[in-house]
Amino acid sequence: MPGIETNLTFGKDGQASGNLGCNSFSGDYEVKDGNIVFGPVVSTLMACPELRMTQEGTAFKVMTGTVRIEVESSMLTIFDASGTMAIILSRK
């Protein structure tokens, strides 16, 4: 959502972490054959305004199990398992 600060970091140690709208989170990941395999995500449990919670909940649904990714220039697109929902991130 426009105006909601988000960040997602993929560490060389196989840990993804960040904030996708409200809570800080982390979890394991592995890149394989144009896909990312996400392990379970652990996050804080703060309550935030509805739009932030909706964005975060949708993002966590996308980041479940094995999902397809596309990298183009400074853009990363992460598609959910069905290919219908996506997270689009740009590198700063």
2 assigned to some structural domain: no
1 assigned to some structural domain: no
Identify the pLDDT of residue 29. Answer: 96
40 assigned to some structural domain: yes
Q: Please state whether 34 falls in left (phi above 0), alpha (psi between -120 and 50) or beta.
A: left
Identify the pLDDT of residue 5. Answer: 85
27 assigned to some structural domain: yes
Taking the C-alpha atoms of residue 63 and residue 36, their distance in angstroms, rounded to an integer, is 9
- Count: domains in the chain: 1
Identify the pLDDT of residue 51. Answer: 92
Question: Does the pLDDT value for residue 83 go beyond 90?
Answer: no
- Cα first-last separation, the chain: 17
Question: pLDDT tens, 41-64?
Answer: 999 999 999 999 999 999 999 998
73 assigned to some structural domain: yes
Task: Please give the residue range of the domain that contains residue 58.
Answer: 7-90
CATH value at residue 79 = 2.40.128.270
11 assigned to some structural domain: yes
Question: pLDDT tens, 24-39?
Answer: 999 999 999 889 999 9
Stated as kind and residue range, the H or E segment containing 53 is: helix 50-62
Identify the pLDDT of residue 86. Answer: 86
